[in-house]
Structure 1
Amino acid sequence: MDQPVSLRERKKNQTRYLLMRTALDLFEQRGFDQVSVAEVAAASSVSKKTVFNYFACKEDLILGAGKHHIDEPAVVVRERRPGQTPHGAMREYLLTALAERQPMIGLSDSPYVRRLQKLIANTPALTARNLHYQGQSRRLLAEVLVEEGVSEVSASLIAAQILAVQEVLAATNAHRVIAGESPDAVYPDAVAATEHAFHLLERGLGDLLRRPKASVTPPGTD
């Protein structure tokens, strides 16, 4: 059974959500670069120090809700069942996330999540920080593969390919939802795209899109 959340933890969570929602309101109204952490603190009736007790940097006021996903690919691969490949485990993980309409795969119609997605997409500082976290996720996954005996170069290549699939799929789904499609409408295409992406990953590119050789006209046949 789940352990009950203590009063202290509930209050901490309430403060965290207050700071995140206040920051989102202010950043949408005035722009991310035009709002200071001190202003977010003042609007939330807390000190600037309190903000940094909850968030390591200003960007995390927006990105912090998803930081727990950074190590998930590494955990998924490390804990995969016998006989399962790393990419097979990630395929299963992403299909489950799609079925659950999780925000991390871009398939959530929560108004709050959609506001976050729009702000991130339109704010270079947030986009850059998000890329930094994606890099952390790739490094953690590569470390797991190295633990299993793969060379560092191979581990980095494998991790980059697996997580590039996740990033492209999530971005595609989020773009459609932000444009107004419902997650339920996007879901069948999202599942098909996931299956296709991991089929390519598993089989390799092979001869896909090999450019035909130019035909050569034998001399004297003009």
Structure 2
Amino acid sequence: MAVKRGPYASDLQRQRRSQILLNTRELLESEGIEGISMARIAKMSSVSTKTLYNIFVNREGLLLQAAANRLDELVASASIQLATPGIPRLLAITELAMMPFRDNPDFMKTVVAIVIAANENTPGAGERVGRVQMLAYDALVVARENDELKSGVDLQELSLIIAANQWGVALMWQQNMISLEQLIRQTNLNHVITLIPFCIGGRKQWLEKRMEMLHPAITPVSNQPIRLLS
């Protein structure tokens, strides 16, 4: 009995999918959302429109995966993989993720608009929109294993707060409510401020020193417990 293969199981299929996402992202960078159609991407990628729909379900699913593909590349980069696992790697990802905002702000405004617009009916939305939360949760798991967190911290809720803060600041920038420099500074600073009350020992001291470098005028965070302790 033949075994049914999963979607894009072969190297050739994975390469084709990567090329489709690359073509889509290049159009997003050069023309914005308006320049994207399934027929155009299919022609550029030398596949049928039916194949494109089979892979990504609809235009929204394709746009979301193309927009989020950049973050996946950053996470897989050598500099991130060399960073210390846990909270240091999470902050390193955040810093590196800010580079595209500085290098190509128009494209990143498009990316934020696509991700924010995704809903539960958009293919891949659960994974992609929650990518930052998953990265934060994984970092917190490592921090707990290393005894860097206070006892009883709810990792799920704390990771949600970290992700919400990041997307909230990005949305404010996308809506022209804050400047690019404010976006970069606040995104890096938010993670540190959020994490300090829940960390202990050397990791807390490390975060406090980092906060002083990012914003010397901020008063050290209180040791009073916050409602994320179960």
Amino acid at match of 2:196: H
Q: CA deviation at 1:43?
A: 8.6
Larger Rg: 1
CA 1:69/1:56 → structure 2, altered by over 3 Å: closer, same or farther? same
Q: Which runs of 5+ in 2 are unaligned?
A: 1-14, 201-221
Task: Check conservation: 2:170, 2:183, Cα contact below 8 A.
Answer: no
Match of 1:61 in 2: 62
**What do residues 19-64 of structure 1 show as CA deviations (whole Å, max 9, x unaligned)?**
45668999955xx9xx7x56763697741255368x5443442122
Alignment partner for residue 114 of structure 1, among 94, 109, 117? 109
Amino acid at match of 1:197: T
Alignment partner for residue 165 of structure 2, among 135, 159, 169? 169
Could you tell me how far apart the structure 2 residues matched to 1:128 and 1:112 are? 21
Alignment partner for residue 126 of structure 2, among 110, 122, 131? 131
Could you tell me how far apart the structure 1 residues matched to 2:79 and 2:161 are? 15
Match of 2:175 in 1: 179
- Measured on the aligned residues, the alpha-carbon RMSD in Å equals 5.4
SS state of the match for residue 124, structure 1?
Answer: coil
Could you tell me how far apart the structure 2 residues matched to 1:185 and 1:120 are? 21
Q: CA deviation at 1:187?
A: 2.6
Alignment partner for residue 188 of structure 1, among 166, 181, 185? 185
Match of 1:93 in 2: 93
Tell me the matched-pair count.
182
Higher relative contact order (CA 8 A, sep 6+): 1
Amino acid at match of 1:101: M
Task: Check conservation: 1:80, 1:89, Cα contact below 8 A.
Answer: yes
CA 1:137/1:67 → structure 2, altered by over 3 Å: closer, same or farther? farther
